[in-house]
């Protein structure tokens, strides 16, 4: 029996920062954002659904999806974002479950599923325990604007397309406060893994 940990948070809250720490401990991480990219490659069903719904204008010249253009549309329009989710999410779920099964077959004791929309999409059933990476809204806004080069308005639109982080606190088994330094975040992660008796390489 393996332990499956769901790792969630909000946009730019620090999930990738924490998932890198898991990977450094030799723990398998399955990342929903990566699977979502693979799911919309040319020739995939979700790709065809997206082009049919949004039109050719969201494509680069080489036929791949222009993510900046698609993002600018869906983070400002609930209905279009729901449509995109309905095209992409089933494939992301299937890909993640297949990878999880594979890791279990290979005898992995601990598997991490990094899923930004875990609570929004009611995916709690996929994990035994859920860790939330939390930051307050002003830190989230600053880090998102800086990382993605977005205006405040664009960054706020992205943040408000997700369940507020403070509402996710009560849904999680454990909350990592990532307002401080990366080192402090690492210490909190180690504490929880000790509490759950998770063996790892240090
Ligand atoms: C809208 C798209 C084209 C923007 O691409 P971009 O490269 O700019 O962002 P990236 O994919 O790296 O996502 C960054 C973050 O945005 C947030 N985000 C992405 N999609 C969504 C969404 N549909 N709703 C709310 N937040 C989202 C997540 O926190 C994610 O970690 C892309 O995110 C996408 O195809 N989204 C739909 C699939 C999805 O829901 N992915 C999230 C995990 S399943
Ligand atoms: N404790 C920290 N101190 C300072 N900067 C941080 C800290 N944690 C993360 N960051 C920075 O904040 C940004 C967002 O972090 P990260 O990419 O880990 O978030 P994420 O939740 O994976 O984001 P997304 O879901 O949007 O992909 C990055 O630029 C990262 O370097």
The per-residue pLDDT for range 58-96, each reduced to its tens digit, is 999 999 999 999 999 999 999 999 999 999 999 999 999
Q: 10 Å Cβ neighbour count for 14? A: 22
What confidence score (pLDDT) does residue 58 get? 97
Q: 10 Å Cβ neighbour count for 96? A: 21
Nearest-ligand number for the alpha carbon of 94: 1
Instruction: Check: CB of residue 179 under 8 Å from CB of residue 165.
Output: no
Tens digits of residue pLDDT in 143-188: 999 999 999 999 999 999 999 999 999 999 999 999 999 999 999 9
Residue 47 scores a pLDDT above 80: yes
Candidate of 10, 11, 12, 71 to mutate for ligand 2, largest count of ligand atoms within 8 Å of Cβ:
12
What confidence score (pLDDT) does residue 1 get? 73
Nearest-ligand number for the alpha carbon of 15: 2
Looking at the chain, the whole-number percentage of residues with pLDDT higher than 90 is 96
What confidence score (pLDDT) does residue 179 get? 98
CATH at 95? 3.40.50.300
What confidence score (pLDDT) does residue 99 get? 97
What confidence score (pLDDT) does residue 198 get? 87
Does 201 fall in a domain?
A: no
33 close to ligand 1 (CB < 6 Angstrom): yes
Give the pLDDT band of residue 199 (cuts 50, 70, 90): confident
Q: Is the pTM of this model over 0.90?
A: yes
The total of structural domains in the chain comes to 1
Domain that holds residue 38: 3-195
- In 15-157, beta strands by DSSP E: 28-31, 110-114, 129-134
- Ligand 2 mean position to 154 CA, how many Å? 17
What confidence score (pLDDT) does residue 200 get? 82
- Ligand 1 mean position to 199 CA, how many Å? 32
What confidence score (pLDDT) does residue 14 get? 98
- Ligand 2 mean position to 25 CA, how many Å? 19
Looking at the chain, the whole-number percentage of residues with pLDDT higher than 70 is 100
Q: N- to C-terminal Cα distance for the chain?
A: 22
What confidence score (pLDDT) does residue 202 get? 67
- Ligand 1 mean position to 112 CA, how many Å? 19
Does 200 fall in a domain?
A: no
Q: Which among 124, 149, 152, 151 is positioned nearest to 137, based on CA atoms?
A: 152
Residues forming the annotated binding site for ATP? 12-17
What confidence score (pLDDT) does residue 161 get? 97
Q: Which among 171, 134, 141, 172 is positioned nearest to 18, based on CA atoms?
A: 134
State mean pLDDT over 101-111: 95
């Amino acid at each position: 029996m393996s332990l499956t940990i769901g790792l969630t948070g909000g946009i730019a809250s620090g999930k990738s920062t924490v998932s890198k720490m898991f990977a450094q401990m030799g723990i398998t991480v399955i990342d929903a954002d990566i699977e979502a990219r693979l799911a919309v490659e040319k020739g995939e069903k979700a790709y065809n659904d997206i082009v049919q719904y949004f039109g050719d204008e969201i494509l680069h010249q080489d036929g791949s999806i222009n993510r900046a253009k698609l993002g600018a549309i869906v983070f400002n329009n609930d209905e279009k974002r729901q449509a995109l989710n309905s095209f992409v999410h089933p494939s992301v779920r299937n890909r993640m479950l297949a990878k999880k099964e594979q890791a279990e077959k290979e005898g992995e004791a601990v598997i991490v599923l990094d899923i930004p929309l875990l609570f929004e999409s009611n995916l709690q059933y996929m994990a035994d325990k859920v860790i939330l990476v939390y930051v307050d809204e002003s830190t989230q806004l600053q880090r998102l604007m800086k990382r993605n080069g977005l205006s405040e308005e664009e960054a706020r639109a992205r943040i408000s397309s997700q369940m507020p982080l403070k509402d996710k606190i009560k849904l999680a088994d454990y909350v990592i406060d990532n307002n401080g330094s990366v080192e402090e975040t690492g210490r909190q992660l180690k504490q929880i893994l000790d509490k759950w008796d998770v063996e790892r390489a240090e």
